Amino acid sequence: MKITEVRVIVTCPGRNYVVVKIMTDEPGLYGVGDATLNGRELAVAEALEKHLAPLLIGRDPERIEDIWQYIFRGTYWRGGPVLMTALAGIDLALWDIKGKRAGLPLYSLLGGKTRECALCYTHAGGKDFVAVEDAVRGKMERGFKVVRAQVAVPGNRGTYGVEMQDPRVGVVEEALPALEIWEPAPYLRTIPRLFAHLRDKLGDEVELFHDVHERLTPIQAARLAREVEPFHLFFLEDPLRPEHKESLRLVRQHSVTPLAMGELYHSRYECLPVITEQLIDFIRCDIAHIGGITEARKIAAIAEPYGVLTAWHGPGDIAPMTHSANVHLDVAIPNFGVQEMVFFPEVVQEVLPGAPAYRDGALWPNEAPGLGCDINEEAAKKYPYQRAYLPTVRRADGSVHDW
Residues labelled as active-site residues: 160, 213
Q: Where are the beta strands (DSSP E) in 53-138?
A: 118-126
Residue 401: its H or E element = strand 400-401
Among residues 11, 16, 36, 38, which is the contact residue for ligand KDG, using CB under 6 A?
Answer: 38
Closest-CA residue to 53 (of 35, 39, 28) = 35
- 38 touches, from Mg ion, ligand KDG, none (C-beta below 5 to 8 Å by class): ligand KDG
Q: Quick one: 94 or 321, whose CB is closer to ligand KDG?
A: 321
Shortest gap between Cβ of 28 and ligand KDG (angstroms)? 34
- Residue 312 in contact with residue 286, Cβ under 8 Å? yes
- 390 touches, from ligand KDG, Mg ion, none (C-beta below 5 to 8 Å by class): ligand KDG
DSSP string, 256-314: ---EEE-TT--SHHHHHHHHHTT--SEE---GGGTTSHHHHHHHHHHHGGGTPEE----
211 binding Mg ion? (CB under 5 A)? yes
Going 365 to 363 to 91 to 283, the CA torsion angle's sign is: negative
Q: Is 148 helix (H, G, I), strand (E, B) or coil?
A: strand
Shortest gap between Cβ of 313 and ligand KDG (angstroms)? 6
Q: Quick one: 161 or 184, whose CB is closer to ligand KDG?
A: 161
Q: Which stretch binds ligand KDG (CB under 6 A): 53-61, 178-186, 297-305, 312-320?
A: 312-320
Angle, vertex CA 329, rays to CA 325 and CA 330, nearest 5: 115
Among residues 211, 295, 330, 374, which is the contact residue for ligand KDG, using CB under 6 A?
Answer: 211
- 172 touches, from Mg ion, ligand KDG, none (C-beta below 5 to 8 Å by class): none
328 binding ligand KDG? (CB under 6 A)? no
177 binding ligand KDG? (CB under 6 A)? no
Please state, in angstroms and rounded to a whole number, the distance separating the CA atoms of residues 324 and 330: 10
Give the footprint of Mg ion on this chain (CB under 5 A).
211
Give the footprint of ligand KDG on this chain (CB under 6 A).
38, 211, 213, 263, 313, 315, 317, 340, 390
